[in-house]
Amino acid sequence: MKVCKFGGSSLADAGQIAKVLDIVLADPARRMVVVSAPGKRTKTDTKVTDLLIALAQAVIEGKDVKKPLAAVVARYASIAETLKLGKEIVKTIETDLLLRVQSLSRKETADADKCARFVDLMKAAGEDNSAKIVAAAFCARGVKARYASPKDTGMILEGEPGNATLNPESYRKLGKAFADFEGIVVYPGFFGYRKDGTVATFPRGGSDITGSILAAAIRADVYENFTDVDNVYPVDPRIVPEVSEGIDTMTYREMRELAYAGFGVFNDEAIQPAVQARVPINVRNTNRPQEPGTMIVQSRRVMPGTVTGIAAANGFSNIIIDKYLMNREVGFTRKVLAILEEEGVSYEHIPSGIDSISVIIRADKFSQAKEKKVVSRLKRELTPDSVIVTHDYAVIMVVGEGMAFSSGMLAKATTALAAHGINISMVNQGASEISFMIGIKSEDRDKAVRALYESFFG
């Protein structure tokens, strides 16, 4: 059996949904369909999830909700009308949205946690109603299909709103719920339920995670992830438009490292469930289903000395702590990390020198207030020679199984960057030797990616 997940661009309008149905019906193994909320129809359009966030915000701020509510309903209504699904389903969706809107009382708008949970409830409406529409579209074609609810089938989540994680009990529950079923199941991505019954969503782009969890839970043969590109490309085509050749096969480890640094085609948290159950992932294009796409698998044959992909992400900050004889001070790093832990700051990397240590943090998780507190505690409690925080830091990942045990890879990268006058702030190579990371200024990011692409693939 195959689990197929379709992203927002594949469900943006009736024409795209018709393609989804054709793809699913072309292969009888495609029995479990995971859907996102309708995405952008054009470059300037707004995703339904973003419309729902705006609606939730209007409710919280006590504004008139008529217009933002109508904007969401209109998206589903135009799909239902073109697919000739009847007026009933639009009414059902409108009622569902109204009930969600009314679930937050005036008093509760003063409670930040209640509001955050409410935003999750609203966001989840995007995929939930999308799944209902797609199930109805299958039925309208005379196909046996049904919508499945994450609540009834055991998608149990926990953790912060908008950043939930799976409770591992879900695998057993989902496996049981789908041990045996007839026809096609349409499952909404992106959200699940806490044990207390409230809705929780994964991070943005989280329908990929749902698909991977379901593929693992039902031990699917393949997890097909349909999006709007033919393949995963070795570099972001927005930065290197001339990249034409996609990646045929890559390993989970490679995808994980590239997705981490911004390979937007696949959510980085979505890899783990498929890896654990050893389900291959196939990234494919809804608009060109004849293309085989990219297979992501446990292992593959590699050419020594080759790079699979280069990814780059902006938005990091760097805390640089200097202290003479740091290498002799037992427990120094532990104390740094304890301060970060107590202040609720998670770190990404900690490259270190003899007398210095850098802590690289995602800037969006490091507010000005947090920065002030952390820096003052580091200064007070660790008596370093200096603590400097730099912002606008970018991280570039050069990744490839073929890099392991090959000499000269880093030299090639640094030579390419030097030739373009790009200063390297940090280099970090993981123990697996399948990647190295280079820290540079954000403003140099695109130039650096182009230089590295030319050097490794040119």
Residues that bind ligand ASP (CB under 6 A): 7-8, 36-37, 47, 49, 126, 189-190, 204-207
Q: In the complex, what is the shortest distance from the CB of residue 224 to ligand ASP, in angstroms, rounded to a whole number?
A: 15
Provide the pairing of β-strand 165-166 with 281-285.
unpaired
* Residues near 17 by beta carbon (within 8 Å), at least 6 away in sequence: 10, 11, 79, 83, 133, 134, 137
Residue nearest to ligand ASP according to CB distances in the complex? 207
Residue-by-residue DSSP string for 218-236: TT-SEEEEEESSSSB-SS-
Tell the smallest beta-carbon distance from residue 63 to ligand ASP (Å): 23
Q: Closest separation between CB of residue 126 and ligand ASP, Å?
A: 5
Q: How far is the CB of 255 from ligand ASP (least distance, A)?
A: 17
Nearer to ligand ASP, 227 or 282 (CB): 227
The total number of residues shown for the chain amounts to: 458
Helix, strand or coil, per DSSP, at residue 159: coil
Q: How many CB atoms lie within 10 A of CB 160?
A: 13
Minimum Å distance from CB 38 to ligand ASP?
9
Which C-beta is closer to ligand ASP: that of 188 or that of 246?
A: 188
CA–CA distance, 156 with 162 (Å, rounded to integer): 14
Q: Measured from the CB of residue 28, what is the shortest distance to ligand ASP in angstroms? A: 26
Token look-up 């990390």 returns 337
What's the N-to-C CA distance of the chain in angstroms? 40
Please provide the DSSP assignment of 361-428 as one string.
Answer: EEGGG--HHHHHHHHHHHHHHH--SEEEEEEEEEEEEEE-GGGTT-TTHHHHHHHHHHHTTPPP-EEE
Q: Which is nearer to ligand ASP, 53 or 307 (CB)?
A: 53
Query: Which ranges of 240-384 does DSSP label H, i.e. alpha helix?
Result: 252-260, 271-276, 332-342, 368-382
When the beta carbons of 8 and 161 are compared against ligand ASP, the nearer one is 8
Which tokens sit at 314? 């902006």
Cβ nearer to ligand ASP, comparing 207 with 317: 207
Residue 131 CB, shortest distance to ligand ASP, in Å, is 12
Token couple for 367: 């507010």
Q: Exposed, middle or buried: residue 281 (CB in 10 Å: 0-12, 13-18, 19+)?
A: buried
**Comparison of 206 and 309: residue with beta carbon closer to ligand ASP:** 206
Query: Considering beta carbons, is residue 93 or 417 the nearer one to ligand ASP?
Result: 93
